[in-house]
């Protein structure tokens, strides 16, 4: 990786492991039948995009799940547990790697996330690692539900570049979604598609980033 000075990291399945099959199973257990169309890696109901942008509250999201499941008696806790089942955790060594890379590059986090997942992850970071948040691991963090924008919208990439005066040709973006990488590429950003069983630690060693 020559001439790279800046690295923008996705969170899910780059730093924090997630499992789409697990959440699809959980949503189906709530009573949602066409789960592949409702929520998947490559397509999803518009409610998820709106939730990621912070355009709707957690309560509105939960009501949509109740409506889709045909069960108005589903509790907030049941819905949250199902939705959070996608979240697996952070592999040993990932945080240490991020701190090492922060010492050599300008690093940023760019995550499509929502209120329920954000609250779960902040609690997880505190309980498992003693962290209040992810802020110390990066120069700056961007969460979609706070910015009002989400990947693959060009505007969120433009915001990161502009606010931090980043040269796209000197910037690497790592994500697990091809459609997100295409937007970054259109702005001249270098990209890498993270695909299991590859890991961020293996990638960093393989590419000589450390």
Q: Express each pLDDT in 57-83 by its tens digit.
A: 999 999 999 999 999 999 999 999 999
Residue from 79, 60, 180, 158 nearest 120 by CA: 79
CA distances from 117 to 18, 154, 205 (A): 11, 23, 30
pLDDT averaged over the chain?
96
Whether pLDDT at 159 is above 90:
yes
Least confident window among 41-55, 138-152, 174-188: 41-55
Residue 2 has pLDDT above 90, yes or no: no
Alpha-carbon span 199 to 197, nearest angstrom: 6
Q: What angle do CA 176, 164, 140 make, to 5 degrees?
A: 60
pLDDT at 1: 72
Contact status, residue 36 vs residue 24, Cβ threshold 8 Å: yes
Q: Which two tokens stand for residue 89?
A: 């955790």
At residue 27, the pLDDT reads 96
pLDDT band at 44 (very low <50, low <70, confident <90, very high): confident
Domain definitions of the chain by residue range: 6-17+91-206, 20-84
Reading the block at residue 80, the tokens are: 């949250």
Asked whether the beta carbons of 175 and 151 are under 8 A apart, the reply is yes
Asked if residues 164 and 106 have their Cβ atoms less than 8 Å apart, the reply is: yes
What is the distance of C-alpha 53 from the center of its chain?
A: 12
SS3 of residue 48 by DSSP: helix
Q: 20-84 belongs to which CATH class? A: mainly alpha
Q: Tokens 């939960």 label which residue?
A: 62
What is the mean pLDDT of the segment spanning 153-173?
98
pTM of the model: 0.95
User: What DSSP character marks residue 12?
Assistant: B
**CA-CA distance, 112 to 156, in Å (whole number)?**
10
Nearest to 56 by CA among 133, 120, 175, 150: 150
Please give the CATH architecture assigned to the domain spanning 6-17+91-206. 3-Layer(aba) Sandwich (3.40)
Q: What is the DSSP letter of 154?
A: H
Task: Classify 10 as helix, strand or coil.
Answer: coil
What tokens were used for 170?
Answer: 């000197």
**Listed range (26-30, 38-42, 103-107, 202-206) with the worst mean pLDDT:** 38-42
pLDDT at 43 over 90: no
């Amino acid at each position: 990786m020559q001439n790279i000075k800046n690295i923008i990291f996705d969170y899910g399945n780059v730093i924090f492991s997630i499992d789409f099959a697990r959440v699809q199973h959980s949503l189906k257990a709530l009573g949602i039948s066409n789960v592949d169309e409702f929520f998947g890696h490559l397509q999803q109901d518009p409610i998820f995009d709106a939730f990621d942008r912070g355009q709707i509250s957690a309560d509105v999201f939960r009501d949509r799940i109740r409506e889709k499941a045909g069960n108005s008696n589903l509790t907030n806790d049941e819905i949250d547990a199902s939705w959070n089942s996608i979240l697996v955790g952070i592999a040993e060594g990932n945080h240490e790697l991020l701190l090492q890379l922060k010492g050599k590059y300008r690093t940023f986090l760019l995550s499509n996330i929502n209120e329920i997942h954000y609250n779960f992850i902040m609690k997880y970071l505190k309980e498992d690692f003693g962290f209040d948040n992810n802020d110390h691991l990066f120069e700056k963090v961007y969460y979609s539900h706070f910015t009002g924008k989400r990947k693959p919208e060009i505007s969120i990439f433009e915001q990161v570049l502009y606010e931090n005066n980043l040269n796209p040709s000197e910037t690497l973006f790592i994500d697990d979604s091809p459609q997100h990488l295409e937007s970054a590429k259109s702005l001249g950003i270098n990209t890498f598609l993270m695909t299991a069983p590859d890991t961020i630690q293996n990638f960093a060693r393989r590419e000589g980033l450390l």
